[in-house]
């Protein structure tokens, strides 16, 4: 893809890659949403920022490097992940203080959600550094909006604690909330989590979203007990997002006329 491709304007906003790159300002932190699966979801603006920023900080530099190579972009990436976030934050803040632009990406989705991007944003805000979000894919929003459960209010908890006691206590603290609940979960814990949710919440309606935007995308709706039984024997792998009805939900996720 050339820097001059897509040369047009919509509502007076340029979409030409070269012009988008020229809009990048030094000393600014950019949070860039990247695909959760489908590469077609990477926006023209996100590509321009990743190509034009002075520094690109990535959760996994190899993963991000391969993704950028698909678009003909080859950058020297800096590592920024949970294990090195303290030292990496200081290093990236030095770049920003010296007038460089810094783009941050996670392995997939929007940085700052269930990843260390939050630490860097806090440091930037505290130091008066401009923070600009370049919106993009998010498993949270993709799952919530496709679930069929109410979206006017929701609580996102990210990944639940790995220890069963802490996981149960957190679920118990959420049990009385009237609105929709959203969680991320790993494939080897999804069944035990669904079972624990049934014990704590009761047999609520829920939606399991797996491998969103990828080849084997799956969205399965049902009661918590039904979903736990299905995934106990399915052997399904991949990235899971769980959307669970709130305590006040009185509807159904059955097709009209079913049941």
Task: Judge if 151 and 236 occupy the same domain.
Answer: yes
**Segments in the chain below pLDDT 70:** 1-15, 256-259
CB under 8 Å to 246, separation ≥6 — which residues?
149, 150, 154, 177, 178, 179, 180, 181
CA distance 42 to 40: 6
Half-sphere exposure of 157 (CA within 13 A, CB side): 20
Are 85 and 143 within one domain?
Answer: no
Same domain, 113 and 224: no
Residues 28-61: tens digit of each pLDDT? 999 999 999 999 999 999 999 999 999 999 999 9
Shared domain check, 161 and 104 = no
Structural domains in the chain (count): 2
Examine the domain organization and report whether 23 and 67 are in the same domain: yes
Domain ends where: 114, 134, 154? 134
**pTM for the model:** 0.88
Write the CATH number for 34.
3.40.1010.10
Examine the domain organization and report whether 84 and 144 are in the same domain.
no
Domain boundary among 75, 108, 134: 134
pLDDT of 61: 96
Which domain, by its residues, includes 219?
Answer: 139-244
Q: What pLDDT score was predicted for residue 4?
A: 39
Element (H, E) at 56: strand 55-58
Let me know whether 149 and 224 are in one domain: yes
pLDDT at 17: 82
1 three-state secondary structure = coil
In a shared domain, residues 126 and 151: no
Residues 149, 223 contacting (CB under 8 angstroms):
no
Contact of 108 with 46, CB cutoff 8 Å? no
Token pair in block for residue 181: 């609940």
Tokens of 84: 């090195």
User: Are residues 143 and 129 part of one domain?
Assistant: no
Select from 117, 150, 147, 119 the least CA-distant residue to 134. 117
pLDDT of amino acid 8: 46
Q: Is 25 inside a domain boundary?
A: yes
């Amino acid at each position: 893809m050339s820097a001059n491709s897509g040369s047009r304007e919509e509502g007076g906003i340029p979409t030409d890659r070269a012009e988008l790159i020229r809009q990048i300002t030094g000393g600014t932190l950019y949070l860039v949403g990247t695909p959760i699966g489908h590469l077609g979801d990477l926006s023209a603006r996100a590509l321009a920022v990743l190509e034009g920023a002075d520094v690109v900080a990535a959760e996994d530099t190899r993963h991000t490097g391969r993704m950028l190579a698909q678009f003909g972009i080859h950058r020297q990436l800096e590592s920024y992940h949970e294990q090195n976030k303290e030292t990496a934050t200081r290093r990236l803040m030095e770049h920003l203080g010296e007038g460089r632009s810094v783009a941050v990406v996670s392995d997939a989705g929007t940085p700052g959600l269930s990843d260390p991007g939050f630490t860097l944003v806090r440091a930037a805000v505290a130091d008066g550094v401009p923070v600009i979000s370049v919106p993009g894919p998010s498993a949270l929003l993709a799952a919530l909006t496709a679930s069929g459960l109410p979206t006017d209010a929701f609580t996102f908890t990210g990944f639940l604690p790995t220890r069963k006691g802490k996981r149960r206590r957190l679920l118990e603290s959420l049990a009385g909330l009237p609105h929709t609940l959203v969680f991320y979960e790993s494939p080897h814990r999804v069944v035990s989590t669904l079972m624990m949710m049934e014990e704590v919440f009761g047999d609520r309606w829920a939606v399991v979203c797996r491998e969103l935007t990828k080849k084997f995308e799956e969205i399965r709706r049902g009661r918590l007990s039904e979903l736990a039984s299905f995934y106990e024997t399915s052997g399904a792998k991949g990235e899971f997002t769980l959307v669970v009805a709130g305590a006040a939900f009185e509807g159904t996720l059955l097709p009209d006329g079913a049941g």
